[in-house]
Amino acid sequence: MAFLVLDLELSGSEPGWHEIVQIGAVLCDNQWGERSTFLSNVYPENEESFSESSRKVHGLSLDDLDDAPMLHELLPEFEEWIIENLPIRPPKHVSGSREHALREVIICGQSVIYDINFLRYAYRQEKKNWPFSHQMLDLHTLSYLYFDVMGGTKNDTPRSRSLESVAKWFGFGRADNTHNALEDSLLTVKCFREINQRIKER
């Protein structure tokens, strides 16, 4: 089993109309040890879907994406990156082993269902089967549970369950002022790792 901590930057909020414009991910082993990182921009097939409101969030313009691959080019590269960095790499010569390895990967993130929905739609659009596990781990949900338990003590807990608020409570922040999908994925990994460790200690 491996954890794929995923964050997507999007051209808007509606799957099917808006598209993925950046993929950031961290592949971790089952103890939240970091294996590898991935970051790539994506050029949207539907340029008309690129919204100004989304640009203000991720700071990417169509000009910034000009040299980026399109999604049908990037998805095989993304899968290959995962397979090559798994804790146990599947043998290339055994039929079905690589597909089985991807099915053991659990996608994780902050409010990750939105990212999964966009990624699933992208796979359908490219007429590709969904290769990953149907399990997911959501930091937003996990932090509600964790802080609800912590709320029974004298510890102050964050009012918001945003990534920034949860990370700040643990003493984490972004390395710099950049906001991209990989930076958020790395921050999310730190929060998952910290919660996992604190639960074990308690």
CATH code of 102's domain:
3.30.420.10
* pLDDT value, residue 96: 78
* pLDDT value, residue 195: 94
State residue 89 phi and psi, 5-degree precision: -75, 130
* pLDDT value, residue 150: 74
**Spatial distance between the Cα atoms of 33 and 7, rounded to a whole number of angstroms:** 18
* pLDDT value, residue 30: 92
104-172-165 Cα angle (round to 5): 90
182 in Cβ contact with 7 (< 8 Å)? yes
CB 107: neighbour CB atoms within 10 A? 21
Q: Rounded to a whole number, what is the distance in angstroms from the first to the last CA of the chain?
A: 24
Global pTM?
Answer: 0.90
- Count: domains in the chain: 1
**Spatial distance between the Cα atoms of 138 and 12, rounded to a whole number of angstroms:** 21
Instruction: Determine the structural domain holding residue 63 and report its residue range.
Output: 1-202
Please list the rounded mean pLDDT of every run of 10 residues in the chain (202 residues).
Answer: 95 84 96 97 82 68 85 95 89 77 95 95 93 95 88 72 93 78 96 93 79
Question: Which two structure tokens, joined as six digits, stand for 127?
Answer: 């007429």
